Structure 1
């Protein structure tokens, strides 16, 4: 036995150097604070993409304050030669202080750990292949989040397949293949010193329900509603075991009919589960630096069809132009997200994002994601299917190695009128933002931001009292304490 143990020990001793694994741990621990907002429902919805009205702005101030925690921790395990790397990340996200439903109340102990990433990254044919649940970074205005798939990158070329959602096939009918698959290619160029250009294309396809399929399902839903009404009438008129059984069956039939109809989701591709679609997105992005001047740009055009009835035709343009002068940076930002001016004409002219988080720190703190990163009006860079025109000028001033402050002024409009009741409006309003960031330690940031929107009449769409005039301005103050390593 001793000889066997000694032999095993010798094998392990000599094998360890060949099997050496390098471990790295990283974290992003953020405590986020809504110090004040005057319309709490508006700032916690993430309903900016929806085309149906949400009365989120009350007649009077509905102020709120809260604190939340978002913690991410990930590990990377790699062979000592770097050929193979495994990445696994978990997070607890948006847990409000005192919220017992997710472990933020007394005693904690909530079930709230989520998987963020889980992928293997290894060398292959001169490049790198990633397989699994991984970061997707196509364009920050279109798709920058997490998804399952396979990504291959070699030099300046990148290609990937991602599956955003899956529906199991249960029959030979091709319409049951409702998975949403995406094929992505990119090639990056450096045509001159200080210039970067990226060319990319994405094809997203799902063989789901067409308009005729949906019409048939909606007709079946209407029939189920009528059958339920008849069953309720029969039971109320003559209660019995038979009429009760018929009533229960009618209720179950209605639930099944409602579940079969795709919901009215609004202008956000990740919400369009079950629809037949082919969306092609072609884009150019990049930037230029020359001395103190810099320019960043994004341009995308979309084509294809939705439910074999609507033709995609949206586009998006973004431009940053600025200068760094010592400790001062001045930036002018413009973007135009196209909107749809007529939902009945067969053309879907609105730009549509797949999955993204539009940052308020370099756009609108009132409309987009602020430091309270799970509580905001919109994750997408537009409003409904009406697009967005954004003009912003911002000034950032570095006061010391640790302290940076800034301010911005914006004017916001939708690209097409928001039409409701007898009103038609496109002016969102003027906005003023201010912010400050202080590095208390190398990896610990304390930051605060505030935004005030002098609302114009397009915001009346979201008010409880629709009279064609915006009655309430919007303002919010956020802060955070963030530790990254």
Structure 2
């Protein structure tokens, strides 16, 4: 009854919006994937001889006719497994119906203020791929012109109020477009946690093209206090270099290094603590895949992470391309068994653009497992085929 009432109210609102000169826009996407996984305990994706899942995102923007204000509301059916009767967080598409799968993704108001705009509510929180690239409820201000982009925001946590002694996250971010080929940026995030714990991130980012090489980088320092007796001091470095060989072939290489710590008894924690990261790593198993909408392997441990990747993309025609990659996964520090090798991953993707809204993909990964996380670990195999509709 409640869902039907909500649908009726939304329909009435949308029908009436024309009378109030509101501009209403819809956008969204749906991803469906079927596949198979043969896993081990170190990767922890879970064995699944055959699976299917669906993720649906739907968003409506309602703006005033002068463009000075708008509200945004978005819902998500987040990567729900077919046939599951009690999946993660009670989600699943069981026989005869579904469980509670819908969640609020965005719910915010945006109002123009001077040369920028203010947002209030649950909104995107895209600070940096390796720190925070998700959503957060708070108060933010954004300024943009042809060369400069500035952002500032505060996000309360737990059950505390904003601007009080409760845990909060404060963000300041800026980017400067030097010229048509170079952009430099930086950000600062302070997270006041419970008790004596706190952490902050200071990052420097950028991208440039030195023909024919395109470079991008992130250098991030994490500081703060884990507790009254232990300080945080950690680093992350990411560098990517790509070359467009011709109109069809592009090759690239990348490195990602996050410091680790194998001495828990000292007074300094050197393990880089990913805050609320997005798909932060290399390869299909750790995020660069349709599978990542549902689950990913987590190779980050107290021992840190070192990833080395080489990949190439070949554009077959206007509608299709194929991509391959080799990824070396390692820990930054020796584990308890004096090992660093997590494994070597081989990936392949095939993409076919059916039309401007629909794309098909086939993807597969094979990991030759090392001994860093699990002794004598089995190798890992994943293959999937999916379709994404976006409007």
| TM-score bracket for this pair, using the shorter chain length | 0.7 to 0.9
In structure 1, distance between residues paired with 2:334 and 2:50: 33
Higher relative contact order (CA 8 A, sep 6+): 1
**Deviations 1:218-274 (Å, cap 9, x if unpaired)?**
xxxxxxxxxxxxxxxxxxxxxxxxxxxxxxxxxxxxxxxxxxxxxxxxxxxxxxxxx
The aligned residue for residue 195 of structure 1 is 182
TM-score by length of 1: 0.71
Structure whose alpha-carbon radius of gyration is higher: 1
In structure 1, distance between residues paired with 2:66 and 2:161: 40
Which aligned pairs between 1:329-348 and structure 2 lie closer than 5 A?
329-348=250-269
Correspondent of 1:135 among 115, 121, 124: 124
The aligned residue for residue 12 of structure 2 is none
In structure 2, distance between residues paired with 1:94 and 1:82: 34
State the secondary structure of the residue aligned to 2:335: strand
The aligned residue for residue 401 of structure 1 is 318
TM-score by length of 2: 0.87
**Deviations 1:124-159 (Å, cap 9, x if unpaired)?**
122111110001010001100011111101232211
The aligned residue for residue 317 of structure 1 is 237
State the secondary structure of the residue aligned to 1:370: coil
In structure 1, distance between residues paired with 2:276 and 2:321: 30
CA gap of 1:359–1:70, structure 2 versus 1, over 3 A, is farther
Hey, which of these two has a bigger chunk of strand by percent?
A: 2
Deviation at 1:341, TM superposition (A): 2.3
CA gap of 1:342–1:121, structure 2 versus 1, over 3 A, is same
In structure 1, distance between residues paired with 2:50 and 2:65: 48
In structure 2, distance between residues paired with 1:168 and 1:138: 22
Which aligned pairs between 1:295-306 and structure 2 lie closer than 5 A?
295-306=215-226
State the secondary structure of the residue aligned to 1:412: strand
In structure 2, distance between residues paired with 1:150 and 1:471: 47
CA contact (8 A) 2:40 2:380 kept: no
Deviation at 1:479, TM superposition (A): 2.6
CA contact (8 A) 1:366 1:475 kept: no
The aligned residue for residue 332 of structure 2 is 415
Which aligned pairs between 1:28-427 and structure 2 lie closer than 5 A?
28-33=29-34, 35-39=35-39, 62-101=47-86, 102=91, 104-155=93-144, 156-167=149-160, 177=165, 179-206=166-193, 208-209=194-195, 276-324=196-244, 325-358=246-279, 363-368=282-287, 370-372=289-291, 373-378=293-298, 382-419=299-336, 423-427=337-341
In structure 1, distance between residues paired with 2:278 and 2:202: 20
CA contact (8 A) 1:392 1:411 kept: yes
State the secondary structure of the residue aligned to 1:282: strand
